[in-house]
Amino acid sequence: MEENAQPLFTFGVIADIQYADIEDGFNFLQTRKRYYRNSISLLNSATEKWNAEPVQPSFILQLGDIIDGFNNPRKASEKALETVVNGFNKCKAKAHHAWGNHEFYNFSRTYLMDSVLNSKHLESTSEFQSAKHVEENNPEPSYSYHFSPAPNFRFVLLDAYDISIIGRGEPSRKYYQSLKYLQEHNKNTNLNFPPEPTGMKQRFVEFNGGFSREQLDWLNKVLTFADNNQEKVTVMCHLPIYPASTSPICLAWNYEEALSVLHSHQCVVCFMAGHDHDGGYCVDECGIHHLTFEGVIETPPDSNAFGTMYVYEDRMILKGNGRVKDRILLYPSF
Ligand SMILES: Nc1ccn([C@@H]2O[C@H](COP(=O)(O)OP(=O)(O)OC[C@H](O)CO)[C@@H](O)[C@H]2O)c(=O)n1
């Protein structure tokens, strides 16, 4: 690739802002400082940087946990959301919002569906009429969609709390199905407490979730369409799905099922997630890049945690800021 080659398009990525107008605190294990109030300043620095980019980002990916659960008991959820959305509105590019556990600590799924955090109106439909969302007649659909910002490139946003006990309310089929599934894997009374202190089974906790069969079948259809049209696909959601890209306590419950869908297609080049605030990265056995973005909430005020991705025919180049490292992501076929 020529030096200074123009990208086909660029986009911004940011994760786990977890804004709350409260004093700094710590994570549950008291091992990591959380800068609740300052996270809005870091978002503002990110939007300023994106607005000043010579090639304007086509969109921003916000990977979930936009505000912190501590807003809820303070009855500050809507105010906090307004503050963060105002931050995003300063950005010239529109944001695609994934939903994480903290969205559900603050809001019901019904509320989220009608809120500014539902970015499904940015979905691409025209070129993909044959695969309207397969869950159209499902009384409990997932929040998932796809879009194509440029020819031969597609992005799929998944709902990692489709099967979960925080993202599904009582009484509902998915809630009871999720509770049964979680209790089969975790015998603790407090389901936020992992069933085992180490290893992959740690992921069976209440603050995680997974993907329904219906959602994975829909994903399979989108990826088949992308394969047939020689597209390059990036998939994203709040929870990581590849063990080497994250601490195991942050993995989606049924990450293996999601991986098996991705691995049955040639089009997937990258998977992006948040949730593990320490971040992570690896390339899997099929050449898919798994990027877990460092969380803004655990980023000191003199640093930051966001990225700008430059997309080319044969690679994506991540320019990281603060805790997010620069990376070159060659597509599997190159
Ligand atoms: N061992 C634990 C961990 C957490 N909790 C409770 O679960 C809720 C969510 O935890 P929180 O740390 O806020 O979740 P994040 O999404 O910010 O971070 C993800 C993982 O924690 C990373 O490891 C909260 O109510 C905690 O108190 C728990 O009970 N036991």
Q: Taking 90 as the threshold, does the pLDDT of residue 4 lie above it?
A: no
Lowest mean pLDDT among 88-92, 127-131, 314-318: 127-131
Q: Taking 60 as the threshold, does the pLDDT of residue 295 lie above it?
A: yes
Residue 330 φ/ψ, nearest 5 degrees: -75, 140
Angle, helices 213-228/255-263, rounded to nearest 10 degrees = 20
Q: What is the mean pLDDT of residues 291-304?
A: 98
Q: CA–CA distance from 94 to each of 44, 58, 102 (Å)?
A: 15, 8, 21
Q: For ligand 1, say whether the CB of 193 is within 6 Å of any of its atoms.
A: yes
Q: Residue 315's pLDDT is what?
A: 98
Q: How confident is the prediction for the chain on average, in pLDDT?
A: 96
Q: For ligand 1, say whether the CB of 28 is within 6 Å of any of its atoms.
A: yes
SS3 46: helix
Please report the atom of ligand 1 found closest to the CA of residue 65: 16
Pocket test for ligand 1, best of 26, 27, 28 (most atoms within 8 A of CB): 28
CA of 173 from ligand 1 middle (Å) equals 25
Q: What is the mean pLDDT of residues 34-42?
A: 98
Q: Residue 33's pLDDT is what?
A: 98
Q: What is the tens place of the pLDDT at every residue in 20-37?
A: 999 999 999 999 999 999
Of 158, 167, 327, nearest to 236 (Cα)? 158
Residue 121 φ/ψ, nearest 5 degrees: -65, -15
Q: Taking 90 as the threshold, does the pLDDT of residue 128 lie above it?
A: no
Q: Residue 133's pLDDT is what?
A: 61
Q: Residue 36's pLDDT is what?
A: 98
Please report the atom of ligand 1 found closest to the CA of residue 100: 16
What is d(CA 167, CA 257) in angstroms, rounded to the nearest whole number?
A: 19
- As for the ipTM of the complex, it is 0.96
Closest residue (by CA) to atom 1 of ligand 1?
Answer: 193
Closest residue (by CA) to atom 29 of ligand 1?
Answer: 192
Q: For ligand 1, say whether the CB of 30 is within 6 Å of any of its atoms.
A: no
CA of 252 from ligand 1 middle (Å) equals 14
CA of 95 from ligand 1 middle (Å) equals 26
Closest residue (by CA) to atom 22 of ligand 1?
Answer: 276
Cα 332-311-231 angle, rounded to 5 deg: 55
Structure tokens at 325: 């490292």
| Long-range pairs for 196-199: beta carbons < 8 A, 24 or more residues apart | 198/248, 199/248
Asked if 101 and 65 count as a contact pair (C-beta separation under 8 A), the reply is yes
Q: What is the tens place of the pLDDT at every residue in 240-259?
A: 999 999 999 999 999 999 99
Q: What is the tens place of the pLDDT at every residue in 183-237?
A: 999 999 999 999 999 999 999 999 999 999 999 999 999 999 999 999 999 999 9
Asked if 233 and 223 count as a contact pair (C-beta separation under 8 A), the reply is yes
pTM of the model: 0.97
Q: What is the tens place of the pLDDT at every residue in 146-187?
A: 999 999 999 999 999 999 999 999 989 999 999 999 999 999
